[in-house]
Amino acid sequence: MTTTVRGAAAILLPIEACWQKMRDLSRAKDYVPGLSDCVVTTSEKEGIGASRIVTHKQFGAMNETVVVWDEGHGITLRLHKGDKPARPFAEALFRYEFRAARAGSESAAGAATGCEIHTALTYRLPLGPVGRLLDRLFLRRLFQQNVVDAAVCLAEYYRTERPVPETELPRLRRNALP
């Protein structure tokens, strides 16, 4: 059984500008909370097959390989360590997707003021019923918070073009979209 947790935040930039920033896979440490390093490891710097190694405080080093590249809209990354799934997962995918701003987010002149970043983690845990129980008891909430944090920090990074310190998370979480 797979689980998907989601997050979203508004970005006051057009989708095209956000997409140009997202293309640079080496910048994840500037907007993903808990990452201390990010190195692109393939000759492909973008597109399907491009891969990076990220080092996370909670989960250690893991590979993230692009499995879906929706030009101009988003990417999906497979989380793994070598040929095996990244711990603690039996399988996991992370999605970044830009969408048009929701109705009601226009400027006074009626023009759209930006877009939204939608993040999603789709995963399956090992251990069958035990994994599902751990997911319901606490892991899902932890993953949910991480996915929301990635969305609000990415929005802040795109707004300021400065790495987002983890100390900003409590304030930025108020910017999450429902």
Q: What is the model's pLDDT at position 112? A: 52
Q: What is the model's pLDDT at position 176? A: 96
Q: What is the model's pLDDT at position 109? A: 44
Q: What is the model's pLDDT at position 1? A: 84
What element of type H or E holds 47? none
Q: What is the model's pLDDT at position 104? A: 58
Q: Please give the model's pTM, rounded to 2 decimal places.
A: 0.92
Q: What is the crossing angle of helices 15-22 and 140-160, to 10°?
A: 110
Q: Would the CA dihedral through 39, 41, 44, 47 be positive or negative?
A: negative
Chunk the chain into consecutive blocks of 10 residues (it has 178) and report each block's average pLDDT, rounded to whole numbers.
Answer: 96 96 95 94 96 90 97 97 93 97 57 85 95 93 96 96 93 95
**Counting beta carbons within 10 angstroms of the beta carbon of residue 110, is it exposed (0 to 12), middle (13 to 18) or buried (19 or more)?**
exposed
